[in-house]
Amino acid sequence: MHRHYILHKPYGYISQFVSNHKKKKLLGELYDFPENTMSIGRLDEDSEGLLLLTTDGKMSELVRRKDVEKEYYAQVDGLISDEAIALLQQGVEIGSGDAKYKTLPCNARRLVPAPGFAERSRKIRDDRHGPTSWVSITVTEGKFRQVRKMTAAVGFPTLRLVRVRIGDTHLNDLPIGHVREVEDFKLYQC
């Protein structure tokens, strides 16, 4: 019998249970997961939000499919413009040299009001450095640090990134660092 979990990954943790880096914070520090639990997909150390975990290795393949949407809320430097939103929606070129890549078209929209997330464990910055704004970006692909590269490509670097949805599994109001066991992941909207 396989077990499945959703986790609100905090800032500063890596999406792993073991690491060669002794100073890295690991998922196993947050909850007593059963043996053979693995994260499905990754969130980098600086990113927060919804992380799926399972004891079923086949689930990973289902989540990585191109028809499963991943929605992120990004706090960006500056007041994001309509032009930048339109560029994100059309797809933007990210990377450099031989690693250049044009992202697929995506759903992007400004978030007003800003989402009411709890303060991050490490302060981002204060208002002295200028305004910030929030944008929702929904992608079906998952290149390395893709959303961060996308917002930077349109002139609005990401300051904070929170994944809020994978398929039809939502973070909702799960507090930072908390885990909820679920029967199954809802990957496709009905």
Positions annotated as catalytic residues are 44
CA distance 190 to 168: 9
CA distance 159 to 187: 28
Q: Which two tokens stand for residue 9?
A: 């990954």
Q: Comparing C-alpha atoms, which of 81, 71, 70 is closest to residue 133?
A: 81
Q: Determine the Cα angle at 74 with ends 139 and 156, to 5°.
A: 100
HEC-encoded secondary structure of 100-143: CEECCCCEEEECCCCCCCCCCCCCCCCHHHCCEEEEEEEECCCC
User: Distance of alpha carbon 19 from its chain centroid, rounded?
Assistant: 21
